[in-house]
Structure 1
């Protein structure tokens, strides 16, 4: 028992030391957004005791999915130091294509779903190739795309303007289906903790064999324990209402897979390299055209998937799909979550954290009957603070010759 306590204490000390080193280097990671999220939750819980109720948290976990998926695509683009303004229109176009094919023309749901996603991929690919070949900033090309894809969405919907989805269909059930058995949520929580340990330990062994700096086993165990506590706490809360939402499970799986793609594949390393220095990447013989095209294609694909989840949430598609504050919220979620506007820094999990902050503010405003104008002011203030923190965090790195 004494040895176990000593191991835990040693792991805690090493973790604290690692955090201090990162803070001194300007690598704040997700710490600022976690603190903001904690403040938001504590504040609204004090204002209304129902904010942290299982029902509200369950609804919150589903509400973040549609826009959160779009924000994940935005993360890819921001890593290049670019901006995609067309994701809202692409999400609306993909949802419209699916609805018209499936509901109005009787195309099988699975086929309509594939076509809708491919529409988003195709739109992103066209934009990415245009950016890479013309070297026009992505925000200009995608601004044109915003208008183009929105016009196509209106044309696809036609005179009716609104298409209602089949409530018993696959897409409609994406956001309404729950795994009601408690064992599902707890089992997946255990799988998540185990996966974190296995991946981290594998990385530790590989780096140690190459003589590279690596985490200690105690540090990995502490990290795994933290993930386990969080995962089981989430599972417990969700099981107290309706169970684990299918939408949340799909969202987290996609985020985890894309995180592996970005951080542990050759393609992902190229994305970070191009975002860190475009000219240096060209001199290193990286195919910048392919990377930029692939990134915008990924953004378009995630926008299409997110659009389908948004349509599922309201079981309809209309001429206003993809409009409003959707684009702003998707970009804000990525930035608030810790993805740098200057490129080269961020992860897909940034979108999850940022979306949690934005949707928590919206949910808190709703249950406290606060005017929507206040929500915009608060979200704008959080976004501004995130940009300032990002800019300040870069200064210690620049003094060390990093970008």
Structure 2
């Protein structure tokens, strides 16, 4: 991982992206739908794979579990459970994506999520506090932790690996101290966080409405983006291709909503995760702050010379990462309806980092999106869910399969990075 004074190894990435954009302009200009297909093919050949590998991998994993479980994996009840199980780890993974975009790491997300769960249990059950004050306190603690990390990183140049490893041990100790007298705290079944995480589901019409809004919003976003390109003197994207893409998405979302409604429906906690991903993705792709994250992750020295407030970027990202860990810890505690000494321990750290990387966020910084967290956590949770249905007891099979998938994701990332560098050099 890079420090504030070191340069990212992916120095050819900007040149490669520029070359890919120029080639896209040549393919798109005046060719409509066929031009869009040609531009997509060129980007894939040049190493800009986007989410394609993880989508293909997810299809393979789901198909394999569908066959090996004799269709039980695709049972509506199981898919509803899978979606709910993704919410907590997915929120933690969103924060990890932001840190990885800088080429850094946070190893303390599990301990921070466990600490937030301990604050939830002690505050709500032992002291009778309402949920909102507990939520505010937990987020404030998370923000303070992230601010501390950012200060140590930018002021003293301590590697993020070391800082957050120390944080892992420190905040695990604080969590154990908070829960030492009680050990395990059962959360009230009628509390907001438990109902939100485990028992609240959308009505069918609400899910259908969200599907229409989502697909329609994507189409409008493409239209506005196309208008900005035309004003800038660039070739316009194919409206037909955008319409086909959004129509396919609408059909898929409606089908999923209908199928999940045959059981309990779409979990509110999963919808919250998707909304968080959409909002975060908007900020990192459409704002100056977000573009600064990519610039710093791609080449920190070039970003500093371009006038970007590099230290401010590091501070805000570390703060957000810890705050997302807090949200994930609260949702996970609500899903379990209890807070225990093991909250946030075990494989929480590894699964969140694995989800971000498997979803397509580069370990080298400067490449990825918030959607990586959603796609990656679905892959990781699908592996655990499918193996449980196959009656593989224990953590050993899950660790082995997840590790293999993670290694494959890193290999794909390295190969695509090498391809982008070669195209940029050419």
* TM-score above 0.5: yes
Contact 2:33 / 2:238 at 8 angstroms: preserved in 1?
A: no
Instruction: Name 1:396's counterpart in structure 2.
Output: 419
- Greater CA drift, 392-401 or 162-171: 392-401
Structure 1 residue corresponding to 2:402, chosen from 376, 379, 382: 379
Q: Which residue of 2 aligns with 1:34?
A: 55
Question: SS in structure 2 opposite 1:329?
Answer: helix
Q: Which residue of 2 aligns with 1:255?
A: 277
Give 1:296's match in structure 2, choosing from 292, 301, 318: 318
Aligned-residue offset at 1:97: 1.0
CA distance in 2, matches of 1:208, 1:12: 17
Equivalent in the alignment of 2:355: 333
Residues 171 and 312 in structure 1, CA contact (< 8 A), matched pair in contact too: yes
Q: Deviations over 1:314-347 (max 9, x none)?
A: 1111111100011000000000000000000000
- Aligned residue in 2 for 1:239: 261
Deviation at residue 229 of structure 1 after TM alignment: 2.1
CA distances 1:36-63 after superposition (whole Å, capped 9, x unpaired): 1111111111111111111111100010
Q: Partners in 1 of 2:32 and 2:68 — Cα distance?
A: 37
SS in 2 for 1:171: helix
Within the alignment, does 1:353 sit opposite 2:375 as a pair? yes
Gaps of 5+ in 1: 1-9
Structure 2, unaligned runs of 5 or more: 1-30
Whole-angstrom CA distance in 1 between matches of 2:121 and 2:45: 52
Q: Distance in 2 between matches of 1:130 and 1:99?
A: 30
Name the SS for the 1:151 alignment partner: helix
TM-score by length of 1: 0.95
Moved more, 145-154 or 73-82: 145-154
- Other-structure match for 1:270: 292
The question of whether the paired residues in 2 share the 8 Å contact of 1:109 and 1:170 is answered with yes
- Once residues 263 and 185 of structure 2 are traced to their aligned partners in structure 1, the CA distance between those partners, rounded to angstroms, is 31
The C-alpha deviation readout for 1:369-395, integer Å capped at 9, x for no partner, is: 124322211111110000010000011
Deviates more, 1:338-347 or 1:146-155: 146-155
Note if contact 1:178-1:243 (Cα within 8 Å) is conserved in structure 2: no
Q: Say which SS state the counterpart of residue 341 (structure 1) adopts.
A: coil
Q: Equivalent of 1:51, from 49, 65, 73?
A: 73
CA root-mean-square deviation? 1.4
Q: Which residue of 1 aligns with 2:231?
A: 209
Give 3-state SS (helix, strand or coil) of 1:360's partner: helix
Matches within 5 A, 1:134-153: 134-153=156-175
Cα distance in 1, alignment partners of residues 168 and 248 from structure 2: 41
Task: State the partner residue of 1:228.
Answer: 250
C-alpha displacement at 1:171, in angstroms?
0.8
